[in-house]
Each structure stands twice: as structure tokens, then as C-alpha cells.
Structure 1
């Protein structure tokens, strides 16, 4: 024990710039771990302080990092070797699954987590650090790169929860000397990133909506083997390549889009050290770096994946009180880089001993996008909140979300406007509103009262009678500045809208 204490005290000399939390994490990670201790000893023996600090960073932030593996197994727990990329479409996938089920019985999903702290080897970590430093030295795009940005956008040995592999060597072997020379000859990081992105456009493509249900995060070699996937996969592939080549990069994303039932989206960014700005772009698309326009109006939160652990986030490890979306979440809120944001404070009518959530409407209910927690809290505060959005304060218990107060809009001035207090409410006829989405609604689409969910209007489309209108199903007419639900079961649409006095419609 005395030997361990002496080793750790010696280890932390010269690391005073790191927080006590990271120092504690480092102590805990190295304790009884000969592989990680060997990495530290290796760079101490080399007397390489730069790589030693890099090793400190990776090890101190390794907690909760690991490989998640999701597999389909039969009743005996034996894998059926399912790979979604083996099938041309959902129909052939279903046919194969049905045939396997007939022979091997009901299939179940099996999830395995392999923590890096127990499975990473010293040689793997040393190779990753050495290759990362080589990339930094060779790349003109790492000139003037700060140590903090190097640690986050070049150094990490993984980009997500994929299996561990030597992807840096694989990337470099995939590029000829002429191609690497071309990359490093570009005068801007945008041109270099675009060049790399176009090379991988020929090797990987978007595989369709059926990939959205896939939980497995694939490694570099697996992505190139399968050749198709969703936007997350495309981001991972491009970030692997960019970081291996010494182009500082990462990825941002949104869980929910305003006025949409679609899944979220992720995109890549590159850091330009000349301007100290991040330039986002959709991976493997023609919308390359420098030409990116986020096509989603006022997404409530934009989150950045990062390797460094978020400080003071102990609540995120408490499954008894935290919503699953936030459990051990290590994302960084970068909403203000994309949208106008504000900080809001909401007074509570009583004290709460549990986290409260800022939620938006998505797929038929309130979904949390941020949380606040203080013991005996009488006011909740949320930072970096996107303006011009509909929100509701909620709590989470027994796997269900409950409303705390009535919905409110944070307007473009950053003011909280509860729906009941928004302007004059006038009676209107839905057919008088010239709105593309309402006009193009399919037959039997409905407008419901937001609170009671009772039907108020139904769309009737009869081509033979040239009839296309909204029919009132209630004695009460609609009112302006009031929330209603637009439901189209055939297209799986469930959105909130508000009819304004000027004849326009706001969708949320």
C-alpha cells in the first residue's frame, strides 16, 4: 500500500493544472491496474512530459468509457450472427429473421459492456498516443493547436462506443503517399477536410431509415466492411479518418428537431486553428465544410460528444432519480454556437426534492432536453436555452413524465410566455388559414384539443367530389393563440401548432 501511495504521489508531480476531480479519477483508474501503470512508467522512463500528460488525460477520463455490444441471440444465448448490412432492405431482413426464428425460437437482444479500464492494454494505449503525436507533428492543421484541443480532437483512442482497434494505422494505410501529400498541401483545413470526406463518399453511404434502430456502434474496419449506415456511422467514419490524419475534428448533434417526429441528427465539425472556429458539415454529403446550414429551426439543444468527463456531474450516475437520456451523459452543451439562446429561471409553487426537466413536444409527449437539480429547490434555472420554442417543465418518476406547469414559449426576446397569457384569442375557421402543412394534410388527419385530446376537426379528402377541407367535429370553434395537436396516423405525425391572429401558423 505504501508503494502505491508513493507511486501516485510521484505520478501527480507536475500535474497541478488538472482538477482535483481528475486527480482522484487518475488515482482510482491506476489502482490495481498494471496495464495503465505500465503506460505511465513507459513515458516516465522516456522522460517525455508531453506524452505523459496525454496519458494522464486519457486515463483520468477513461471512467465509463468502453465497448457496447448488442447482439441477437436465441433462447440458449447463442448469437444468430445478425448484421443489418447483409440485407438489401427491410423486407429481406424480416424474411431472414423469420426463418431463423422458425428454427431457433424467439430471439432476444443481448447487451454486453466491456469497460476500457479492464480491457485496454498498455501497448494499445501507447501506440495510440504515439500515433496521435506523430499526426500532430506532421499535419499543418495542428499548427498552433492548443493542448486542450489536441486532447479532445486528435488524441482519444475511441470516438464512440465501438470495439477497440488500431484505427489510426488502418486509416494511414488506406491513403497513398500522394493522397497524404495532397491533403497536407491544402492551405485551409476546410479544403483538406472536404478532400477526405469525398474519398469516403465512395466507400460508405446512408443506408436508409431501417438503420436507425441499430444500436451497435461499429469500428472503422466494420464500417468499411458494411459500407452503409446512419448519420452517426457516417460521422464516426469521417472523424476516425480526420483525426488519424491530424485534422482536429469532432461531432455535434441534436436529439430532437422542432416540429418533427424524426429522429435526431449528427454532423461533423473541423477546428480551424487560424480562426479558432469550428466549421460544421454533414458527413459524406456534398454539403461540405464551410457550406453547412443546419436545416432545423431552433432545435432545443445541440450537444457535443467529448472524451473529457463533465465535471461535477455526480447526479448523472444516479439511476434512481435521473432520466435515462441523462444517465452518465457526457455531452457538452453547444447550442449557442448554432442558435440564439437565453438563460431562464422559473419559480416553483412548492419545493421539489427531485430533478426537474425542461421538455419539448416530440412524438406525442414531452421529451426532456435539459434538467436542474438542487435540494429543496424553489426555483429552477436552465442555461443556453434555444429561443422561439415551446417548452414545458416536467418531472420523471416510475418511467413516466409528468407536467409541472402549463406549456410556455420562450420568445425571440428570451421572455417566458405561458400559453394562457398569449395575446387575444379569436374564434376562427381552420379552412381560412393558408398553410401548406394544413392544406396538404391527408384524409382523416385530425386536429385535437391539446389538453383533453378530443377531436375538433378532421380532414376530408374526396377526389371524386373534388372535396378537400377541414370538417368541424365539435360545437366549439378553434381559437387563435391556443395550442392544438395535429395528428396524422397514416404518416405517424403528432405535432403541436398555434394559430396566430395574423393568419400564420407556428409549428412546435
Structure 2
């Protein structure tokens, strides 16, 4: 009798540890062969009670994962320096474009390809900066999930951008840690001033942090994307805003907004104008 009770207890324990909400279970089914990677993340944070908030963060990312993907091109060239030199020195731009075809776009759905290691690293670094920065105590969990935690911005190829940003912007990050009174808006303004300035150019495919830093050209979309990568990696809650068309103008525009300690969002233009300044409409 005692043996049967023990078996029932462990059966219940195992079931309770692997039972997921209907939303999570639906995504796990969509993941197919990649289900084990997503489950590894969930089990990782379920194993310790002190990680309950990180578990909620993992669930947030997984529930919102369907429909997100990386889009990149299997180009026949990869020597960017040579291509750039030919482009700038050539008087026949079309000839250069014709000689360097992009190839067919490749789509990789996150739920099919993302790894547990990538998600866990993203969650750990996001929590680290949220908890370390002086303004972090004013950022509620829901804002954190929406404006610091996400592992991607658009359809860019995934990379470990948080580590790269923290390495490149270590000086301002450490300066912020020493200033107990600095706000997220003030930090945003300081970082935006040291972001590289962009050369306005035509539309580009979605670029990750490394691509944006290497090219420093594009439209307001690329400028806003770079600001998001850098700000979020430093623990500054920043989002993307846009209008498809200005009043009296057929062009649209994208810009950023930073969340202050009261939950109010203040607009700014990544790499260009600081929080509170009116956005330009020429991009």
C-alpha cells in the first residue's frame, strides 16, 4: 500500500512539473522538432523557486514567439569591404548591383530554430541590467517584458547582441551604475548622443546590431532599430513608434520612445534627437 502511494505521488509530481498552460502548449506543438529547446528553457526556470519571475519572462517570450522569424539572404558574396569600395568608386551603380545579387531570401521561424541557450542567455542578461541600473526599481515587470526583455527587434538574423552592446558600451553602463539618481530618460539621452550617426539611404532588409553598426546607413527604421538594441541591452526601456503617413505628406516615419518612472513614454529619434525633441519628417 505504501509503495502504491509513493508511485502515485511521483506520478503526480512529474505531471505537475510538465503541465503547461494551453497557450504554452499550443506554441510547443507548433515548434515541432524544436519543442525540446523551448521545454528546456521552461524546465530550467521551473527548477528553482527564486526564478519564478524569470519563468514568467520565459513564458512571455515563448507565447509571443509564433510569427517571429529571421529573414536573410544567401548572397553569393560576403566580402563587404570589397563591395563597399566598388559601390563608392563606381559611376555605374546598377552594374554593381547586377554583379552582386542578393539571392533568394531565407526565412527561419524562431519556434523552429531558436535554441534554449540563446533564450536563457537573453533572459539572464535582460534581468541583470534591469536589476542593476538605478532606474530599474521604477520599471514594472510588464514594461520590462515589453521594452527590455525581447530578444529581437524585427526580422533580423539573430545574434548575441546584448553581450556585444555591453562590451562596446561598458563605460557609460558603469557610469550609470555609479549614479544613484540618474533616470531612464537621462540615460537614454546620454546614450543617444554617442550612437553613430546614420547616412540616409534606401530601404534595407532587417539588420541586427552588428550589421547596423557596420553599415550606419539606412532610413529612420534602421536608426530606430539600433537605438532599441543599444538601449535595451543597457536596461533602458525603449520602444518603437511610427506613423504610416504624415498629415499632408505621403511618407511615413518611425521613431522611438523611452518610458520614464511614471510610465509615460517620451518620444525621441534614435541616433539623432533626444527625448522630448520633435521628430524630423525627412527620413
Q: Could you say which TM-score interval applies, normalised by the shorter chain?
A: 0.7 to 0.9
Aligned to 2:29: 28
Question: Residue 291 in 1 paired to residue 277 in 2?
Answer: yes
CA distance in 2, matches of 1:37, 1:257: 45
The 3 A distance-change label for structure 1 pair 143 and 109 is same
C-alpha RMSD of matched pairs (Å): 2.9
Aligned to 2:259: 271
Deviation at 1:295, TM superposition (A): 5.4
Aligned to 2:46: 44
Q: Tell me if the contact between 1:183 and 1:195 (Cα under 8 Å) persists in the aligned partners.
A: no
Deviations 1:275-306 (A, max 9, x none): 21000111111x2102235759xxxxxxxxxx
2:226 counterpart SS class: helix
Q: Which runs of 5+ in 1 are unaligned?
A: 1-5, 73-78, 102-106, 297-508
Query: How many residues matched?
Result: 264
Deviations 1:434-481 (A, max 9, x none): xxxxxxxxxxxxxxxxxxxxxxxxxxxxxxxxxxxxxxxxxxxxxxxx
Deviation at 1:60, TM superposition (A): 1.1
Q: Tell me if the contact between 1:251 and 1:267 (Cα under 8 Å) persists in the aligned partners.
A: yes
Aligned to 2:127: 133
* Equivalent position to 1:181, from 174, 178, 188: 174
Q: How does 1:285-434 map to 2 (within 5 A)?
A: 285=272, 287-292=273-278
Provide the TM-score with structure 1 as the length reference: 0.47
Deviation at 1:265, TM superposition (A): 1.2
* Equivalent position to 2:57, from 54, 58, 69: 54
CA distance in 2, matches of 1:41, 1:207: 45
Q: Which runs of 5+ in 2 are unaligned?
A: 1-12
CA distance in 2, matches of 1:29, 1:171: 32
Tell me: higher relative CO, structure 1 or 2? Use CA pairs within 8 A at least 6 residues apart.
2
* Equivalent position to 2:190, from 195, 206, 212: 195
2:138 counterpart SS class: coil
Aligned to 2:161: 167
Deviation at 1:42, TM superposition (A): 1.0
Deviation at 1:92, TM superposition (A): 4.9
Deviation at 1:141, TM superposition (A): 2.2
Deviations 1:146-187 (A, max 9, x none): 22111110111111111111100000000234x223334262
Deviations 1:105-136 (A, max 9, x none): xx575222100111111111110000011011
The 3 A distance-change label for structure 1 pair 242 and 276 is same
The 3 A distance-change label for structure 1 pair 255 and 44 is same
Q: Tell me if the contact between 1:193 and 1:289 (Cα under 8 Å) persists in the aligned partners.
A: yes
The 3 A distance-change label for structure 1 pair 198 and 12 is farther
The 3 A distance-change label for structure 1 pair 92 and 242 is farther
CA distance in 1, matches of 2:30, 2:268: 36
Provide the TM-score with structure 2 as the length reference: 0.82
* Equivalent position to 1:220, from 194, 200, 209: 209
The 3 A distance-change label for structure 1 pair 260 and 40 is same
1:88 counterpart SS class: helix
2:88 counterpart SS class: coil
Aligned to 2:246: 257
Q: Tell me if the contact between 1:220 and 1:237 (Cα under 8 Å) persists in the aligned partners.
A: yes
Aligned to 1:239: 228
Q: Tell me if the contact between 1:235 and 1:283 (Cα under 8 Å) persists in the aligned partners.
A: yes
CA distance in 1, matches of 2:92, 2:137: 50
